[in-house]
Amino acid sequence: MIQSSELILNPDGSVYHLNLKPENIAHDIIFVGDQNRVEKITQFFDSIEFSTQKREFKTQTGIFKGKRITVMSTGIGPDNIDIVINELDALVNIDLETKTPKEKLTSLNIIRIGTSGSLQADIPVDSFVMSKFGLGLDNMLRSYLIDEVSNPEMEDAFVKHTNWDVRKGKPYVIACSAKLEKMIESDKMHKGITATAGGFYGPQGRVLRLNIQDEALNSKMDNFSFGDNQITNLEMETAAIYGLSALLGHNALSLNAIIANRASGTFSEDPYKAVDELIAYTLEKIALG
């Protein structure tokens, strides 16, 4: 039995942060960062059966072309992903009344739809990126036993290439779900490695009034490659989603609409259009999946 201090429930029996019960979620889940983006997706649904919000975690579940789908905002950063995925897993794989793990594993399909900046000049604004791998620079996942799901060869190559300072912890690399990659991929998608930072400013190389540990890190990442994979973009959630999903037995895929190109210094003239096109494309693929 899991102790009440470890799996915290609200008085109504819902999981603590998400405020959800098992019947409130579908097995196909779309993650967005911004709570205001939830309804940008569910506006396309035929019907909405459930809606709730607690803090930055907004959830709506409904039907799109016969497929039951949940859309959820996770907020920003790997720490929020730790909350969201652990509590979603509890909803389907732990009996909340007895607080004991279920014998049969239920695997969720989790697809993140986000926005990001590209690190490569040949990945222009308004294009789409599918994260073949998540490269975690944040160190959150190192709290877990990740050796069974990580890619130590790519990790070591990245550490060597960037002369990574081990005082920041060792980066980790996790692959996307092959099942979801096959379901979603198209000629429109660029593929590569998505770097996941633990913050927006210093951890992504931005300098305001504080100096940063490695001013050259972004340029080092620009020219890092492993096999046929380059680092395509930099954001704050993907590697954590991939790692926790893989450890817990769920399928995960991260898609990004590229609204800025850090290499060329350009920004999309209509970032909302790019995001809307990615949403429409993804919903159709889920409905057919």
Query: Domain ranges in the chain?
Result: 28-288
Per-residue pLDDT of 184-234, as tens digits, reads 988 878 999 999 999 999 999 999 999 999 999 999 999 999 999 999 988
Residue 217 confidence (pLDDT):
95
How many CB atoms are closer than 10 A to CB 125? 19
* Amino acid type, 266: T
Q: pTM of the full predicted structure?
A: 0.95
Residue 238 exposed, middle or buried by CB count within 10 Å (0-12, 13-18, 19+): buried
The yes-or-no verdict on residue 119 having pLDDT over 90 is no
Q: Which alpha helices (DSSP H) does the chain contain, by range?
A: 38-42, 78-93, 152-162, 178-184, 217-222, 238-248, 271-288
The C-alpha atoms of residue 150 and residue 170 are separated, in whole angstroms, by 12
* Superfamily for the 28-288 domain: Nucleoside phosphorylase domain (3.40.50.1580)
The C-alpha atoms of residue 101 and residue 114 are separated, in whole angstroms, by 32
